[in-house]
Chains A and B, each alone.
Chain A
């Protein structure tokens, strides 16, 4: 039972354009969501998060949107840069669970010149 789904295994975007990565979840108890970025042979690094009481959170070029009714979140990267090429994982958790996170399967983003 995949509670967090990233249905696009890969995405290719031109440098300077917008990258949109999507994530769907099924567990309505999730009350916070995070995006992690992972380069080959490294551990995931935190990118941006959003609480369920918000519908948008911005940090520089990165914006996460949350649509609770649709159980959907998305990560927007504008403008995309070659250094953004990595695997992006969506993760979800809920308060009171020792910060246990449920991860999606990841989307590999390639930003081309």
Chain B
């Protein structure tokens, strides 16, 4: 199993550009999550999904959109990039909720908005 994969690893965007961060998992997990981590900070939840076709906002959703058309994929869309979106983005997945089941994380995408 590849686990959770993310592409690209690193990207530089100009202000106002848009892009999609890709995330895929091959563990047949229903639950998927997007986090961002700013320097010296913990991970903040952007969006999450409890299954194909179902998504919901996390703590910091503004400026982002998501979709979940399949169990495996959970892309994160930035429509109008702003310098405040410079961060490292992590995708994660888990099997079942609320049981203490751990989340499995991808390697991250480092995004720089200039």
Cα distance A56–B42 when bound, in Å?
Answer: 24
Asked if B100 and A105 sit within 8 Å, CB to CB, the answer is: no
Q: Looking across the interface, which residue of chain B has its beta carbon closest to that of A50?
A: B100
The secondary-structure label for the interface of chain A is loop
Residues of A in contact with B, size category: 20 to 34
A63 proximity list for chain B (CB < 8 A) = none
**Known contacts A89-B43, A99-B31; A43/B58 CB under 8 A:** no
Q: Judge whether B67 is part of the interface by a CB distance below 8 angstroms.
A: no
Interface residues of A in 91-113 (CB under 8 A from B): 93-101, 103-106
Taking the nearest CB of chain B, how far is it from the CB of A70, in angstroms? 21
Asked if A99 and B98 sit within 8 Å, CB to CB, the answer is: yes
Cα distance A34–B99 when bound, in Å?
Answer: 12
A residues whose Cβ falls under 8 Å from a Cβ of B: 4, 6, 9, 32, 34, 36, 41-46, 49, 51, 89, 93-101, 103-106
B residues whose Cβ falls under 8 Å from a Cβ of A: 4, 31, 33, 35, 40-45, 48, 50, 56, 58, 90, 92, 94, 96-108
